Amino acid sequence: MNEQAKIDYFTEDGSVAAVNARISGDTHDRLADVMRSLVHHLHAFIKDVELTQEEWGVAIDFLTRTGQMCDENRQEYILLSDVLGASMLVDAINNRRPTGATENTVLGPFHVDGAPEYAMGENITKQGGRETCLFEGHVKDLDGNPVEGARIDVWCDSEDGFYDVQQPDVQPRHNNRGVFTTGPDGRYWFRGIKPVSYPIPDDGPVGQMLTKLGRHPYRPAHMHFIVSAPGFDTVVTHTFVAGDDYLTSDAVFGVKESLIASYEPVEDGETKWRTAYDFVLHRSE
Ligand code: BEZ
Ligand code: FE
C-alpha cells in the first residue's frame, strides 16, 4: 500500500471524518468540540433528506438574502433563530432555575439601553392610549423576602402593535419604555397601556419562509421585563396577556404557562385595566 492510500479522501460514507480530520490539534478545545458536532449533525441532516443540488442552491440564496437584510436596526439571523426555536432553546439551556423562580423567555430585538428612569407609579406611555393599565407586583427571593434595589426595565408595543424604534417618525422616543427601582418592600407599580399582539418583522426572507410553511408571524400580547438585582440571576422575560389568541402559536415559541398574567378591568378613573405579577429571583451561585 502506498502512503497516499492512508489519506482520508472525501467519500459519502466518510464525509464527517474527512472534514473533522482537518481540525488542527492546536484548536481551542471548545471550538473543536462545537465544530465537530456541527459537521456531524449538518452532514447527518443532508444525508437524512438527501438534499438535491437545487435545494442546496435555494438554501444558499436564502442565507445570502438573510445576511443582506441585516443592518444596525434589523437582525434577520436572530429572527431566523427565533422562529426555528433556537433562541428559546439556547435561553432554556442557559437559564435553568429552581421551581418557583421566574422563568426566562426570549429578549427580542426591541430592547433599548438607556430608557428613562421613572419613580414608581409613573406612566411609560408618552403617546396616550385607550386601554390604560396599571402594572403592579413584588420582586421577591425564593423564600418570599422582598428584594430591595431591583431594577425593572420594561418595554411594550403601542396600541397599533409597533415598538417606538419601529416608528421613529410616528412615536415619541422611549414611548412605552421605562426603568423602575424597588424600595425596601420590593413592590413595583407603574402605568402604561395594555399591550396588543403584533407580527414580528415579516417583510424579509424569514417572513417568506413562514408563509411557505403555513405559519403566521404573530406574537401574543406581552410586556417585556428585565429584572436585575445585586446577588441574583437577571431575569429576561415577558408577562403575556391571558386569553390572547396567539398564546398557543407564538411565532417565536416564547410563551411559558407561568408567564401568563390576567388583566382585570377596573373602574378607577383613567385606568381601565390592572395586572399583577410577582417576580421571584434566584440567588446567583
Ligand atoms: C419581541 O417580543 O419583541 C420579539 C421577539 C422575537 C422576535 C421579534 C420580536
Ligand atoms: Fe415584544
Which residue, judged by its Cα, is nearest atom 9 of ligand 1? Answer: 108
Cα–Cα nearest to 254, from 152, 154, 156, 107: 107
Three-state SS at 123: strand
Ion ligand 2 contact residues with beta carbon within 5 A: 108
CA distance 81 to 99: 27
> What digits encode the pLDDT tens for the residues 110-157?
999 999 999 999 999 998 888 999 999 999 999 999 999 999 999 999
Q: Residues 186-198, buried b or exposed e (16+ Cβ, 10 A)?
A: bebebbbbbbbbb
pLDDT of residue 224: 98
**Do 133 and 191 form a contact (C-beta atoms < 8 A)?**
yes
Which residue, judged by its Cα, is nearest atom 6 of ligand 1? Answer: 108
Which residue, judged by its Cα, is nearest atom 5 of ligand 1? Answer: 108
Which residue, judged by its Cα, is nearest atom 3 of ligand 1? Answer: 108
Which residue, judged by its Cα, is nearest atom 7 of ligand 1? Answer: 108
What is the per-residue DSSP string for 31-82?
HHHHHHHHHHHHHHHHHHHT--HHHHHHHHHHHHHHHHT-SSS--HHHHHHH
Phi and psi of 57, rounded to 5°?
-65, -40
| Domains of the chain, CATH where assigned | 3-51 (no CATH), 76-281 (2.60.130.10)
pLDDT of residue 129: 85
> What digits encode the pLDDT tens for the residues 84-109?
999 999 999 999 999 999 999 999 99
Residues with CB under 6 A from ligand 1: 79, 82, 106, 108-110, 200, 219, 252
**Do 124 and 154 form a contact (C-beta atoms < 8 A)?**
yes
pLDDT of residue 2: 52
CA angle 14, 17, 21 (to 5 degrees): 140
pTM score > 0.85 for this model? yes
Q: How far is the CA of 239 from the centre of ligand 2 (A)?
A: 10
Q: Which atom of ligand 1 is nearest to the CA of 107?
A: 5
Residue type, 224: H
Q: How far is the CA of 199 from the centre of ligand 2 (A)?
A: 9
pLDDT of residue 7: 67
Cα–Cα nearest to 183, from 121, 226, 241: 121
How many other CB atoms are there within 10 angstroms of residue 54's CB atom? 8
Contacts of 218 (CB under 8 A, 6+ apart): 197, 198, 199, 200, 246, 249, 250, 251
pLDDT of residue 267: 78
CA distance 37 to 48: 16
Q: How far is the CA of 156 from the centre of ligand 2 (A)?
A: 6
Ligand 1 pocket: which of 200, 202, 225, 253 to mutate (most atoms within 8 A of CB): 200
Extract the residue ranges of the chain whose pLDDT is less than 70: 1-7
Q: How far is the CA of 92 from the centre of ligand 1 (A)?
A: 16
Which residue, judged by its Cα, is nearest atom 2 of ligand 1? Answer: 108
pLDDT of residue 233: 97
Ligand 1 pocket: which of 70, 80, 81, 82 to mutate (most atoms within 8 A of CB): 82
Which residue, judged by its Cα, is nearest atom 4 of ligand 1? Answer: 108
